[in-house]
Each structure stands twice: as structure tokens, then as C-alpha cells.
Amino acid sequence: MHSLFRGLKKKRDLEIEIQCIKESNITIDNAKSDLSTLYAYEDLKEKILNTEIDYLKLHELQMEIGRLGETFVYEHEHNYLKGTIYAEMIDERKALNPKNGYDILSFTREGEPVHIEVKATTGTEIEFYISNHEYKTAKRMKEEGLTYLIYVVTSVMSESPEIVKIKDINSNKEYRFEEYNWKVKKRNQKNC
């Protein structure tokens, strides 16, 4: 029995039966093979916990997940409006300008505009951040009689992402707001 496999048995404390493979050309090079790390959960977890976080890469990943969610919602809206003149009028370019306060301009099947802010997560929990500008945009649009929805795409990396549609985020009793960030500015500061 190869020493690599003895190590696996010890780490996992498993009762396994090992049988030889007859007439095979399989060789294991210990210098190149590190199969034992696949089974050393605690070792891998410790390595991750001790790894310094690269916040730039983390932010880039979050941005990619957001773009993936926006693309999923765009395709969803396009499929929903298929067969209407509005399918080709969906404007996903809104996401390129954060001044809009929403990501996608879509429509109902009757042609009413729908302003969609997209939030995406790889998990299943409904927890997300909205900017003060997005919050104020949702409030203003409601006062003007316009439709502003938040589409939360859950499990965005899975084979079957789901969309949770949230209407009237400012007054929706199913959701609560928590203070998260504060901007701090020196008083009586002269601007150049």
C-alpha cells in the first residue's frame, strides 16, 4: 500500500478496504501529487483563515458577481417580454451610469416602464446593500408614480439562480434597514 493512502486513512480515521489494481500503468509522484489536501478539511480551512485578504481581488469578484446578476436579469426580462415590441427596448446600459440609481430599464407587457436595481449573491440569503442614492431614487420614483423594483438574484453561480422581486423597498415591512456607513467630513473645511 502506498504511503499516501496510509496517510489518508489516518487523517480521516476511515475503515476502508484497499484493493490493488491489476495491470495498470498508474504511478503516483509524491512531488507532484497532493491528494491528501483534498481530504484535510481542517488544514485547508486553517490555510484560508491565515491567508491575507486581497481586498482589491475581493472587490473585483463582487463586481463580476454583480455583472453576472445584471446579465441574468436582462435575459430574464427579455424572455418575459418576448413577442412584444418592448423586448428590444430593454436598456441594460443604465448600469453603466451610477447616477441613474437603478441598473436596467425594462417594461411591463403593457409598456409601462420598470426601473430595476439588481443585487446578486452566490448564496440564498436575502441580504444586500443599497446606496443612499438608490434609496432616494426608489423613494422619488414611488412619489412620481413610477415603478422601481429591486431584483435580488440568489444562487447566481448555480444552475438555477432565482429572482426575488422587491417592491416599495422604502416602506416594505418584510425588510429592515441597518445603518452601515457614515461619511465623516471636517467642519469649516475650505474646498479648493
Output 16 or 40, whichever has higher pLDDT: 40
Looking at the DSSP assignment, which residues form a beta bridge with residue 148?
115
Nearest CA-CA partner of 92 in 110, 67, 109, 112: 67
pLDDT digits over 49-98, tens only? 788 888 898 899 999 999 999 999 999 999 999 999 999 999 878 767 87
Q: Which domain holds residue 153?
A: 55-167
For residue 97 the three cell numbers come to: 451610469
Q: Is residue 1 part of a domain?
A: no
Looking at the DSSP assignment, which residues form a beta bridge with residue 147?
114
Contact 28, 2 (CB under 8 A): yes
Q: Is residue 116 part of a domain?
A: yes
Q: Is the pTM of this model over 0.75?
A: no
CATH number of the structural domain spanning residue 70: 3.40.1350.10
pLDDT of residue 9: 41
Q: Is residue 40 part of a domain?
A: no
Half-sphere exposure of 153 (CA within 13 A, CB side): 25
CA angle 62, 68, 72 (to 5 degrees): 145
Q: Is residue 180 part of a domain?
A: no
Q: Is residue 174 part of a domain?
A: no
Q: Is the pLDDT of residue 5 over 50?
A: no
Q: Is residue 106 part of a domain?
A: yes
Number of Cβ within 10 Å of residue 24's Cβ equals 7
Q: Could you give the C-alpha distances from 25 to 21, 28, 29, 32, in angstroms and in order?
A: 10, 10, 13, 17
Q: Is the pLDDT of residue 35 over 60?
A: no
Q: Is residue 129 part of a domain?
A: yes
Q: Is residue 191 part of a domain?
A: no
Domain count, the chain: 1
Q: How confident is the model at residue 184 (pLDDT cuts 50, 70, 90)?
A: confident
Report the distance separating Cα 34 and Cα 18, nearest Å.
19
